[in-house]
A and B are shown apart, each in its own frame.
Chain A
Amino acid sequence: MKELDPILHSQLRLAVMSILMNVDEADFVYLKEKTESTAGNLSVQLDKLSNAGYITVTKGFVGKKTRTTCQVTEQGRTAFEQYVEALKDYLNL
């Protein structure tokens, strides 16, 4: 049986990846709202996903406000698909 990816097998990181798999890009505020997480925790988890190469984090400006947008990478997409396949194996689906 395949081992579950430790980067993805964490509640908040998995929630973020699940959202990003369904959209083209999402900003920090949207992710915070949908995952019901704190800014600090979300920020740490986004860094971990970004360091693993699963997402890209782009910091930009909209007017005078900063805007952080996240997008899943091909590597992240593959990892997520493999994670779901592994889950199915564990659950005999």
Chain B
Amino acid sequence: MEEKKMTEKESLELITSMIQRTRERYVGDGNIMLMWRYLTVAVTALVWILLVKTGNPIYNLGWFLIPLLGNILKPLMDKKQKVKSGVKSYSDRIVTQIWTVVGISSLVAMLTCFGFIFFAHASSNIWKSMFIFALIMVPMAEIAHGIVVKEKSLVVGGALGLCVGIFTMCCIAAGIPFGANWYLPMFIIAFICMMIIPGHIINYKAKQQR
């Protein structure tokens, strides 16, 4: 771009053209999202197998693997993505903040569960609250993410997850016991529908745009 004198009309055209160029960017790389999603499904499957095989609630400690591994991998992947795109939009910032809130609250929820177990001698049933967290808070964040980036698959997937979350909440309120043999597979399926499928859809769209 050369430095030359512009007319008012040219200035306006330049502004319009630059705005258009900033819109020519990828929907977003879904790899970070997919990492969280596969990690959640893998850890749930692991906890499920261990609980079914041993019946020992100590294996609920496995849930800690999600924030632990996720928070190690995310900054590494984040850095790579930021360098690749060279730009951060307002929606990127909002989405990052939404998921940061979810991440921090999941850690707080887990620590609170431990607090109840160690200080109030609560039974291992306290971990049911984590299911509500995973299937109410996460789908809500997913829906918000979908609304911000205008991605229907995230909204639909989040809504499906939310339905399972409401079902879970009703089971707890009605005193219906969760069997690891039926509940955890349902949890995994819900996560696949609400997180893994939309993640792949976003990645596919990003590839199409490139």
**Residue on B with the closest CB to A71?**
B88
Q: Are B8 and A91 in contact (CB under 8 A)?
A: yes
B18 proximity list for chain A (CB < 8 A): 14-15, 18-19, 22, 34-35
CB < 8 Å neighbour of A4 from B8, B23, B86: B8
Cα distance A24–B79 in the bound complex, in angstroms: 16
Q: Are B87 and A25 in contact (CB under 8 A)?
A: yes
The reply on B54 being an interface residue by CB < 8 A is no
A29-58 interface (Cβ within 8 A of B): 29-30, 33-37, 41
B87 proximity list for chain A (CB < 8 A): 23, 25-27, 30
A27 proximity list for chain B (CB < 8 A): 86-87
Q: Are B21 and A24 in contact (CB under 8 A)?
A: no
B1-45 interface (Cβ within 8 A of A): 1-4, 6, 8-9, 11-12, 14-15, 18-19, 21-23
Cα distance A10–B9 in the bound complex, in angstroms: 13
Nearest Cβ on chain A to B95's Cβ, whole angstroms: 11
Chain A's interface size range is 20 to 34
A91 proximity list for chain B (CB < 8 A): 8-9, 12
The reply on B89 being an interface residue by CB < 8 A is yes
Q: Are A23 and B83 in contact (CB under 8 A)?
A: no
CB < 8 Å neighbour of B22 from A14, A34, A41: A34
Cα distance A37–B82 in the bound complex, in angstroms: 22
**Would you give the 0/1 interface string for A61-93, flagging 1 where the beta carbon is closer than 8 Å to chain B?**
011010100000000000000001001001100
A87 proximity list for chain B (CB < 8 A): 8, 11-12
B89 proximity list for chain A (CB < 8 A): 22-24
Known interface pairs A11-B4, A11-B6, A35-B1. Does A24 touch B90 (Cβ–Cβ under 8 Å)? Answer: yes
Q: Are A67 and B4 in contact (CB under 8 A)?
A: no
The reply on A59 being an interface residue by CB < 8 A is no
A63 proximity list for chain B (CB < 8 A): 79
Q: Are A23 and B22 in contact (CB under 8 A)?
A: yes
Q: Are B1 and A15 in contact (CB under 8 A)?
A: yes
A90 proximity list for chain B (CB < 8 A): 8
A23 proximity list for chain B (CB < 8 A): 22, 87-90
Nearest Cβ on chain A to B210's Cβ, whole angstroms: 15
Known interface pairs A18-B14, A30-B87, A37-B1. Does A62 touch B19 (Cβ–Cβ under 8 Å)? Answer: no
Which A positions have Cβ atoms within 8 angstroms of B? Answer: 4, 9-12, 14-15, 18-19, 22-27, 29-30, 33-37, 41, 62-63, 65, 67, 84, 87, 90-91
What would 6 more interface pairs be, CB under 8 Å, given A18-B15, A41-B1, A63-B79? A9-B11, A11-B14, A18-B14, A27-B87, A62-B83, A67-B83
7 examples of A-B residue contacts, CB within 8 angstroms: A11-B3, A18-B14, A22-B23, A22-B89, A23-B22, A23-B89, A34-B21
